[in-house]
Structures are given as C-alpha cells and as structure tokens.
Amino acid sequence: MVKVAHVQLCSCCGCLVSLADTYEKLLDVLNSIELVYCQTLADAREIPECDIALVEGSVCLDDHHSLEVAQEVRKKAKIVVALGACAATGGVTRYCKGNQLSKPVHSSFSPLTEVIKVDLAIPGCPPSPEAIVGVITAALNGDMEYLQPYAELAEKGSEACGCDVIYKVVNKSLCMGCGTCAAACPTRAIEMLDGRPNVLKELCIKCGACSVQCPRIRFPELIEKIE
C-alpha cells in the first residue's frame, strides 16, 4: 500500500474536488493507495510519514503556521506534489496583497515550489482529474519518463503567466497557431487573433495551463507512440 496524504495550504479545496472528480478511476487508484491524511475527508490531525503528499495552495509567508506545514510536509513525504496552480505557480494568490479582515497582515503568498523543494508540479486551476490520475498512476508505477515534464515544472515553472506563450512561443518564432493555449485557459484570457494568441492580462490568473499545454514549448517523446 502506498501512503498518500492530501494537505491544504492557502487554497480553495477545488484541487481536492478535482481529485474526487475522477470517479471510478479514483476507486481504481484507491485500491492501491491508503489515504493517510486529508483534513477534508478524515480526522487525522498530524501529517504522518507518507509516500506521496498532494499539496494544494500557496504558502502565506506572514502566517507561521502555513510555513510550518509546508516544512513539515517536506520532512514527512517521500514525494511532494504541488497540486494545482496555487501550489505550483501561485495562481490567483499571486494577486493577494493583504489589508483585509480579519488578518490585514496576511499579505504575502508564494507558491509551494518557491518555499520548499517540490518533486512534481501539476499546474491548472483546477488541475484536471485526468492529469491528477495520470501523475498518481505514473508515480505508483515508477514511470519517470511520463513524470519528467511535471518534475521540470516543479523545478523551474513557478513563474507562470499568459505572457509565457507570447515570450516563449510567439516571440521565438515557434507559434504555428494551433489554438491549444486558448482552449486550455480556464478564464478565456486568450483569444486567437490572426492565428496567434492574444492574452487579455486582466483575465489571467497565472495558472500556467496555457504554456504547459503548448506543444511548441515541450513535446515529450512518449506522445509519439500511438496505437
């Protein structure tokens, strides 16, 4: 049995809902895992030793509890997964700036990937259930080739923005206008104009989905095997 923990930091719980949204696939996975910690679903109070920790939410640097939980999870888990935009790239919490009741001093939020060493990051707001199942299944099978792109995002993908498809693709003469980025965006911050993405900055929540889905930045070789 592989021990899995779900840890919630500064987040909306939508990532856990997305995990639950895998329905029967989750049940398949549940046969080989034991959910040892999840404050929403079970009453364990302390994060126990575990194989995989799925952590959603960013870390409030002005809240010592938030920081401690982040460090604790790194100590207890063999594999730490930043689940969803807030943990992986900051997401909507990038825009937090405090001065609200009841804790006006809670103003600084950083993605988990910038606070502790994270092994895998699954961006998206929310990350799709299929992506979560894909990562958990690959982790159970030790399929490192499949996980490689998620490992890279954990290491260097924390600064996500709609501008990525402009800087890394359009500006680099790589965009061929497929429109995948526009479809991936959860807030419709990308419209296709003249066969190129146009990013509406006011709508972007810095979730990273667009650049992660762009086939002109990263195209893992294993995709080329079809049946």
Partner 1 sequence: MRWNRMNPFGSYKKVVSARSTLKEVLKKAQDGGIVSTAFIYGLENNLLDGVIVADNAGEFKAVPKVATTPEEVLEAAGTKYTVCPNISVLKSAVREYGCEKIGVVGTPCQVRAVRKLMKYPVGFRHVPDKIALIIGIFCMENFPYYGLKLIVEEHCGVKMEDVVKMDIGKGKFWVYTRWGETKAIKLKETHPYEQIACHVCTDYTAELADISTGSVGSPDGWSTVFIRTAKGEEIFNKMVEDGYLEVKPIEEVKPGLGLVEKLALQKKEKNMKEIEHRKELGLPIPY
Stretch that binds ligand SF4, among 57-65, 150-158, 187-195, 218-226 (CB under 6 A): 187-195
Query: Which of ligand SF4, partner 1, none lies near 160, with the C-beta cut-off 5 to 8 A by kind?
Result: ligand SF4
Nearer to partner 1, 36 or 209 (CB): 209
Residues in the chain: 227
194-203 contacts at long range (C-beta below 8 A, 24 or more positions apart): 196/170, 197/162, 197/165, 197/166, 197/169, 197/170, 199/162, 199/163, 199/165, 199/166, 200/162, 201/162, 201/163
Among 39, 108, 128, 180, which residue sits at the site for ligand SF4 (rule: CB under 6 A)? 180
Nearer to ligand SF4, 77 or 157 (CB): 157
Q: The tokens 């988990």 sit on which residue?
A: 112
CA 207, chain centre distance (Å) = 8
**Least distance between partner 1 and beta carbon 164 (Å):** 12
Among 184, 189, 204, 205, which residue sits at the site for partner 1 (rule: CB under 8 A)? 184
Interface map 112-151 toward ligand SF4 (x if CB under 6 A): ----------------------------------------
Nearer to ligand SF4, 29 or 165 (CB): 165
Quote the DSSP letter at residue 6. Answer: E
DSSP string, 124-166: SSSPPHHHHHHHHHHHHHT-HHHHHHHHHHHHH--S--THHII
The Cα 52–Cα 110 span in angstroms is 21
**Binding residues vs partner 1 (CB under 8 A):** 18, 21, 122-124, 126-131, 134, 146, 149, 168, 172-180, 182-186, 192, 194-195, 207-210, 212-213, 215-224, 226-227
